[in-house]
Amino acid sequence: MISKVIEELEDPSLHLPRILCLHGGGTNAKIFRTQCRVLRAHLKSAFRLCFADAPFYSQAGPDVTSVYKEYGPFRRWLRWKPEHPEIEAATAVRCIEKSLETAMREDDMKGATGEWVGLLGFSQGAKMAASLLFRQQVREEKLGRHGVGTNFRFGILLAGRGPLVSLDPELVMTPSLVDAAHLGFQIFPDRRRKEHVLRLPTVHVHGMRDQGLNLHRQLLEQYCEEGSTRLVEWDGHHRVPIETKVVTAIVKHILAVAQGAGVLAT
């Protein structure tokens, strides 16, 4: 009992609800933790953020080496270039799951006890976060609550783009989704169909100077149910915001979504 009290005094976040954080392609957990330093500071009284490393090695992502050249090795969740080695979808999913399980288990070993309640991702990590939420949703619909395995309540998607990745293609696979082995897709979603739509609450953050803005809007408008989303637009490029005014707006939406999901008291 005494040792537990000492641990919590040393790290007061150990008991807080946890958010699993997924870095972008061509970076890693250490870099993403640094990129999220202002966001972490604003959330530290409400959530514990845990950062996972993607399973596959990669060249550095755009603009990464200008600041984080010495922070390698760099990693990715999915293929995004033709030169990335081909892999079977089922193998890719197993590797992704192992990486997530490792990060969560290591956080448990540090003494953290909070429930895993959310996912936060940037760029490719945002695509993966949304896809994990979508898998949870599909599993609950088709297998029941006992067959889900996770209980994430919301997602925070920073500069995330479609399409969603079907991590359980045997349960759901439509032309609007891709599996974990593919680079991308050519078929835009049929707005009349809903099999590909994520209904769990999400907070979207879009940089208005980001070259991928149209694709980020596609994820919001075509892959997320209307009424389930919140949007923060800011005057920035493809990066994690660190400006106090922007981060404050993001945190306001995160706390509101968490309260609506019953994670935090109102």
CB of 171 closer than 8 Å to CB of 156? no
CB of 114 closer than 8 Å to CB of 149? no
Tallying the residues shown for the chain, one arrives at: 266
- The per-residue pLDDT for 2 is 47
Of 42, 204, 206, 238, the active-site residue reads 238
- The per-residue pLDDT for 47 is 98
- DSSP string covering 97-118: HHHHHHHHHHHHHTT----EEE
Cis peptide bond N-terminal to 55, omega within 30: no
- The per-residue pLDDT for 178 is 87
Asked about 176 being catalytic, the answer comes back as no
- pLDDT beneath 50, residues of the chain: 1-6
CA 165 to chain centre: 12
Domains of the chain: 18-260 (3.40.50.1820)
| Residue 156: strand pairing partners | 120, 203
Q: CA geometry: angle at 124 spanning 49 and 106, to 5°?
A: 35
Of the chain, the end-to-end C-alpha distance in Å amounts to: 30
- The per-residue pLDDT for 185 is 60
Q: How far apart are CA 64 and CA 66, in angstroms?
A: 6
Of 13, 204, 210, 216, the active-site residue reads 210
Asked about 210 being catalytic, the answer comes back as yes
Q: What would the two tokens of residue 150 be? A: 């996770």
CB of 212 closer than 8 Å to CB of 159? yes
Q: How far apart are CA 63 and CA 53, in angstroms?
A: 19
Of 123, 131, 166, 176, the active-site residue reads 123
